Amino acid sequence: MKQHKTILTLVLLLAPFFLPSIAAAQSAKPTAAQDIQLTVFGAVSGVYTGLAGGKNLSLTAGGDLALAPWHGMRPTLEVRGTKNLVGTIVGQKDVLGGLRLDFLLGRRVHPYGDFLFGRGEMDYGSTCATNNGPVTGYSFDNTCYSVTTTYVYSPGAGFDYDLTNHFAIKVDGQYQQWGSVPTASGTLHSTIGTIGLVYRFGKFGMP
């Protein structure tokens, strides 16, 4: 519930900046690239958690609302979530939202950069030694942690490669900073590589 409230708050804060773009898209000459466009995607991700060499194999899914082009770029609102399937040391999952900028450079390859923010959870699968015997968790500073929840900042970049008007392949990389975690610095840095399939609703085109 807290994750959903975080994303909703983020979208509401960003919305006023993009209302002029929405109006422009509705009033401008109706071309495929100027239409507001909704896409969804599903993907497989490899995660280097940044904690004691931990790795995850995860699923990532999300959606994008693309607005009117502006000076060779297209602002887009994105929401995505990642959940670990299998892994070592720690399992990471998060729900993020934010701004993505598509660079309108070609008809088949569509590079972009993004900055996302949200909440994440770490589920520690290692073993702590306690006075009552071993328990599942991660030991740091004489404390055994089983699960921690914190904010996540996630800048990244990638590209979509068109297969048809509706389908594309997504290749994506994210660099995440997790805060309030059991490390000496109090933060954690994860890297994520993602490959998946994109579906676009409606006809897609470039100006």
Domains in the chain, CATH or no CATH each? 2-18+41-200 (2.40.160.20)
Q: Are 75 and 18 in contact (CB under 8 A)?
A: yes
Say what the pLDDT of residue 125 is.
82
- Residue 16 DSSP class: H
Look up the pTM and report it. 0.78
DSSP codes, 179-206: ES-SSSSSEEEEEEEEEEEEEESS----
166 within 8 A of 204, measured Cβ to Cβ: yes
What confidence score (pLDDT) does residue 34 get?
Answer: 54
Low-confidence ranges of the chain (pLDDT < 50): 1-33, 203-207
Determine the pLDDT at residue 45.
Answer: 98
Q: What are phi and psi of 5, to 5 degrees?
A: -65, -35
Contact indicator for 61, 98 with CB cutoff of 8 Å: no
Q: How many CB atoms lie within 10 A of CB 26?
A: 12
